Amino acid sequence: MKKHVIMVLGLVLILSACAPNFNKEEKVKTEDVDSNTTETAIIPNYKISEDYYKVVVPFKASEARGLVVNNLNTRYDIAEFETGLMRIAQNAYDPEQYFFQEGQYLNKDIISSWLGRKSSKNAEGLNPAGKENGKEPIYLAHILEHDYLVKTDDNSLKLGGISIGLAMNSVYSYEEKGAVKELKIDRTKLEKEGKKIAAEVVKRIRGVEGLEQVPIIISLFEQKESSSVVPGNFFAYSKVAGNSKSIGDWEDINEKYILFPSSDTKYKSEADAFSYFKQDIEKYFPNFNGVVGRAFYVNDKMQDLSIEIPIQFYGEAEALGFTQFVAGKVMEHFPPNNNSSVQVSITSVYGPESLIVLDVDAEEPYIHIYE
């Protein structure tokens, strides 16, 4: 079987499901939210695939950026909360017509006050007032805003809609008698509180200058505890029309991450395939048992499997040989056209060694060897 060794190509291209779409670069006019001045922006001529939004440049960072790192428990939750919110936005904003921009309207002060507990000093707090025993949970962990722009007839970009993500705590940590305790928040209670908070957030958004009449899609995300090695997941979203101040019906989202090896019989087919793959890797290195997989399911069907293999190498030739061996085992246990993609990251104490990517429509994997 022919192998591709990609020595220069970046990860963005490797993960692309489609060939690059090289259109002519466009210059457009856009308005700066803070200064109300008109600026020149560029719509890039390259789009990764039909499932990604083009990002307007120069890139405008949100004033509230950085808060997500402080407010979410793990790097897995941070990544899924941000990328998942973009994925859900496609239910309202077509990537062919809308362009992505980080949130420009809910600044750091607004979000920080909304995330606080309601008190005499913070009337804007969306979390319940604390009790003396400290056991009243903080339900809302973070608020994330994404903006989606559309092009007008006069070659300008204007705000066409926003996407709001509410990250909810599944576990609340508090201190009691000098010891840190954890309170598990019931999913039913979490969903009830999340929808109540979402209704208030929509009302408040309508009072923000520039957001009075734009469509909103608002989503609820359940983040995992700080010890988790898989991310949380979005579980509901709702669309709010531009002329509405209230939320109507909610749509359920059936997404979940599963850690392999797994004994869950619901995912037996994929779990068995992973176990056989793991066994083959351990035969190559008899004393090694560090293969871990994270599978992403939508409506109980696996969409993506990410496998991490940390290993000790003693030379470039050994790393290359092992990578070729693993690529063959990927093809054997996760054959192409099984409606899910597979990525294998091989690392050593020196950092990344190689990356193997088998896309959904690919007949053979891409292999990237890091230099």
pLDDT digits (tens, 9 = 90+) for 206-239: 999 999 999 999 999 999 998 898 999 999 999 9
Which pLDDT belongs to residue 113?
96
Model pLDDT, residue 34: 64
Q: What's the pTM value of the predicted model, to 2 decimals?
A: 0.85
CA dist., res. 353 & res. 120, Å (int): 54
Percentage of the chain lying above the pLDDT 90 cut: 61
Query: Is residue 223 a contact partner of residue 161, using CB atoms and an 8 Å limit?
Result: no
The per-residue DSSP string of 340-355 comes to SEEEEEEEETTEEEEE
User: Rounded to whole angstroms, how far apart are CA atoms 293 and 177?
Assistant: 39
Whether 64 has a pLDDT exceeding 90, the answer reads no
- Return d(Cα 128, Cα 330) in angstroms, integer: 49
Mean pLDDT over residues 316-333, rounded? 92
Tens-place pLDDT, residues 96-137:
999 999 999 999 999 999 999 999 999 999 999 876 555 789
Helices (H), 228-339: 268-284, 316-333
